[in-house]
Amino acid sequence: MDSFLPSPDCDTISKTYNGQIDSHLIQKTNEGYREILPNLPRGKGWMTEHLVQYQGVWLTPNFALKGLMWVHDHFKPRSTDIFLATFPKTGTTWLKALTFATVNRTRYGFADHPLLTTVPHGCLPFLEACPNDLDGFPSPRLLSTHIPYTLLPNSMTVNQSCRFAYICRDPKDVLVSKWLFMNKLRPKELAPISLEEAFELFCQGISHYGPYWDHVLGYWKASLETPEKVLFLKYEELKEEPSVVVKRLGEFLGHPFSLEELSKGVVAEIVKLCSFENLSNLEVNKSSVLKLSTQIIIDNRHFFRKGKVGDGKSYLTDEMIKRINEITSEKLLGSGLVFGS
């Protein structure tokens, strides 16, 4: 496997999030955005007033759609790039922490690790949230994205050997976690969304980067066709055997654990550092915020709720569970994919 250089430090990434946007670089994107936006179908938003449907995918207009267009217009991928791809609320925060700790395990000690003072999202930025030039990032660049595989430019999926680590989760848990999370970010002038309304929207596919099942299947099929480029993980398996999954992740990232590291318990230390119990109790994740854009500022504590498997059943009625299970069976029929461990 390749020997990778360390990822950018958190200070560099922070500057990427908060730096000044080059108006000349994104002028083309803004013009294209203004041209297509009025003609896109609209659906009710969870965090914003509405979502727009672009090439079959539901996106927030001012953030996700514009970010996607920027990626297509300006992003220059490298063959060494590594992307953590997720649908929102499927384990993004946890996977970011594990990946950052795995790749940088020889760079930082566990006693003074950046993850102790920086939310994982501050160490691995969202691609669609970074309109600045990323050429200054050393290789391999560690980035994350919610963009469905089918919407990624060919320069990322075909013409380069970029690698993607993807994690999925039972849709019932995704729905409930997303509903609770988005209501916390919903502007006060907009009435909260009820669980019943969120359920109907989710089943219709109207949710950020949805439909959920299409998002999952896109990366699942890519993992079957090019397993050396797409690693497909399940949240439930990560919860059940985190050390096993971390070792798989390290191997895939080109950063396999040596026998000496295994004997010294390095994997266990990474799992402990990145555990829900540890991260959720850190001061930075209790009192600080993450600024994704001028409009999107999130309290870090909102990224840590329960992190449990099966919690969705505590909120959904039997009828809701039956309907989601039926949709899931229909959508996944013949794919070979089954949710859960």
Residues with catalytic function? 146
CA–CA separation, 136 vs 209, rounded Å?
Answer: 28
Number of Cβ atoms within 10 Å of the Cβ of 275: 16
Reduced to 3 states, what is the DSSP secondary structure of residue 53? strand
Q: What share of the chain is helix, strand, coil (3-state, %, to 5)?
A: 50, 10, 40
In the chain, the largest separation of any two C-alpha atoms, in whole Å, equals 59
CA–CA separation, 70 vs 33, rounded Å?
Answer: 10
Tell how many helices (H) and how many strands (E) occur in the chain. Answer: 15, 9
Q: Between the CA of residue 283 and those of 115, 289, 294, 300, what are the distances in Å?
A: 11, 11, 24, 10
CA–CA separation, 265 vs 175, rounded Å?
Answer: 36
The amino acid at residue 158 is: V
CA–CA separation, 178 vs 201, rounded Å?
Answer: 12
Q: Between the CA of residue 9 and those of 22, 118, 142, what are the distances in Å?
A: 22, 11, 11
Q: Contact 94/274 with Cβ under 8 angstroms? A: yes
CA–CA separation, 88 vs 47, rounded Å?
Answer: 12
CA 225 remoteness from chain centre: 22
Q: Contact 288/14 with Cβ under 8 angstroms? A: no
